[in-house]
């Protein structure tokens, strides 16, 4: 996100409805595409930070939040979840995954 600080924060679509159900009136607006992408990028960093700070049990929900934001971000660049999975699988086939816990420390 650029140096400007935007007021408010991107929230899930049903949050205004939930606020109304609690007897309050939310103040919202719909971001344009440029602002939406900026806010998604900021939200991804926020969710990753929350994931990293959470204990193992809470990380399950935080991981779902990270994935939700990531899927929204890739949709903005024209990639649907199935395409993303195909790209992930191809990279895993070509270069492997991370299951073997390999740490590279350089070359001799």
pLDDT given for residue 101 in this prediction:
96
Chain centroid to CA 37: 11
| Tokens linked to 81 | 């979840």
Per-residue pLDDT of the chain (108 residues; tens, 9 = 90+): 445 567 899 999 999 999 999 999 999 999 999 999 999 999 999 999 999 999 999 999 999 999 999 999 999 999 999 999 999 999 999 999 999 999 999 999
**Alpha-carbon span 101 to 25, nearest angstrom:** 49
CA distances (Å), 72 to each of 6, 41, 57, 77, 82, in order? 19, 10, 24, 9, 13
The confidence score (pLDDT) of residue 4 equals: 55
CA distance linking residue 68 with residue 62, whole number of Å: 10
Specify the residue for token string 């140096």. Answer: 3
Q: Are 26 and 15 in contact (CB under 8 A)?
A: yes
């Amino acid at each position: 996100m650029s140096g400007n600080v935007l007021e408010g924060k991107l929230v899930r679509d049903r949050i205004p409805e939930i606020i109304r159900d609690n007897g309050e009136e939310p103040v919202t607006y719909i971001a344009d595409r440029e602002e939406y992408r900026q806010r998604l990028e900021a939200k991804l960093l926020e969710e990753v930070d929350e994931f990293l700070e959470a204990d193992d049990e809470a990380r399950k929900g935080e991981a779902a939040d990270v994935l939700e934001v990531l899927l929204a971000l890739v949709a903005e660049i024209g990639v649907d979840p199935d395409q993303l999975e195909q790209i992930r699988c191809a990279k895993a086939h070509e270069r492997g995954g991370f299951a073997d816990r390999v740490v590279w420390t350089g070359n001799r």
